[in-house]
Structure 1
Amino acid sequence: MIVHELMSMESIFTEELKEGYHVLLGKYKTVDVRVLSADCVQEIDCGTEEIVEVVFDPGKEYSLVRLGLYTFENEAPSLDELQQTILEQHCDIFEEAVSA
């Protein structure tokens, strides 16, 4: 069983997004957990994984809506490349100045 343990989370592009939208970059430690017996568990370190989520917060408690999910197993793209990818899929979440 692969387990993702959150190591850090940050918001990116915060100044450029319309109100209620968030782009979150999460860095996860990935571990393969194997149960060998009733009292023995083996954990194998599988490295780290970066996941970018595009979410909308409608303002109600516990109500984030996921609009997109991007995973980078090897090397994460630059912020410019990431912004371009998100602009192509979710152009409506950015303020007008960025999309112009």
Structure 2
Amino acid sequence: MIVHELMSMESVFAEELKEGYHVLVGKYKTVDVITDTDCVQEIDCGTEEIVEVVFDPGNEYSLIRLGAYTFEEMPSLDELQRTIFANHCDIFAEAVSA
């Protein structure tokens, strides 16, 4: 069993995206839970960075997830921007070089 615990979240590229679109960076702690007849053991397997692209149409509780990407380490802003632009170029307010 793998348990994901949300550790932190922040919005990036706020001024570069069209209104209503957000890029959220989440850091998840991955834990394997091993069960045996006698014990339960939790092992820290490291972390993974989850980047989500969402749209907020303005209604309460109505975020729409447009995509999610997993990185082993926190990507640089340039790498993150290239990844998002390659998949969601239409959400940027200005053209961004890929």
Pick the TM interval, shorter chain. Answer: 0.7 to 0.9
| Residue aligning to 1:81 | 79
How many residues align? The count is 97
The alignment partner of 1:92 has SS state of helix
| Residue aligning to 1:30 | 30
Tell me how far 1:30 sits from its aligned partner. 0.7
| Residue aligning to 1:99 | 96
| Residue aligning to 1:21 | 21
- Identity, % of aligned pairs? 80
TM-score (norm 1): 0.86
| Residue aligning to 2:56 | 57
Tell me how far 1:89 sits from its aligned partner. 0.9
User: Over aligned residue pairs, what C-alpha RMSD do you find?
Assistant: 1.7
Q: C-alpha deviations, 1:2-58, integer Å up to 9, x for none?
A: 011111111111111111100000011110112334x84211101111000000111
Unaligned runs of 5+ in 1: none
Runs of 4+ in 1 over 4 A off after TM superposition: none
